[in-house]
Chain A
Amino acid sequence: QVQLVQSGARVKTLGSSVKVSCKASGGTFSSYLIHWVRQAPGQGLEWMGAIIPMFGVTHYAQKFQDRVTITADGSSSTVYLELSSLKSDHTAVYYCARSAIDIGDFDLWGQGTMVIVSS
C-alpha cells in the first residue's frame, strides 16, 4: 500500500532556504498530482501548489507563486518543496498529499514536516 513519507523537522534561520521531501513508499506517483499544503500554528489548511510528476508540470496558488518551488524526481518517486528567503511566517507544518489528475480529492496524506524559522 502506497504511503507518502516526508522528511524530518527542520530548524532554519531567517533568510535561508529549506527543501522538504515527500517520497512515495510502496508505489509511484504515476497518474497523480502531488500537492503541498501549509498549516501555520493554530491555523487551518492552506493549499500552496502541486506538481504532476509524470510531466513536471506545476501549479501554484497565487499567494505562494513567488515564494515556493515544487519539483519532482521520477527516478526516486520523490517530490520536493523548496522555500527560499525564509521569514518567521514560514514557520508551519507542511504536508504533501495526493490526488488523481482528473479528480481533485486528496485521498492520501504525508505525515507532515515541521519547519521552524528562528532568528
Chain B
Amino acid sequence: GAVVSQHPSRVICKSGTSVKIECRSLDFQATTMFWYRQFPKQSLMLMATSNEGSKATYEQGVEKDKFLINHASLTLSTLTVTSAHPEDSSFYICSASGTGTYNSPLHFGNGTRLTVT
C-alpha cells in the first residue's frame, strides 16, 4: 500500500533555531500534502495544504512566515519551523494524497515530535 515517510521522528532544538521536517511519499506521486499539528490529548489541527509547485495554503491563525512549507517535487514536502520557541513544541504529522484521485483516503507519516528547549 501507499507509504508516507516522515523524518525525523524526534527532534530537540534550542529556542531561536530552525528545524526542518521532511515528508516523502514513497510509492506514489503526491500532488497534495497536508501538515497537521497535534497538541497533547487533542485532535489534529490542519496547518496548511501544499500543492506541488505552488505556494502553500495556510489555515487561519497559522503564521506562514514561521511555518515555511516547500513542496518542490511530487514526492517531497518540507515544513520548516523558523525561530522555534517552546510553545512550538508539538507533534507534527504530514499526510499525502495521490495524483488523479478525488477524496482518496489520506495516508499519514508517523509524525515528528518537536521539543524546543
Check if A and B associate.
Answer: no
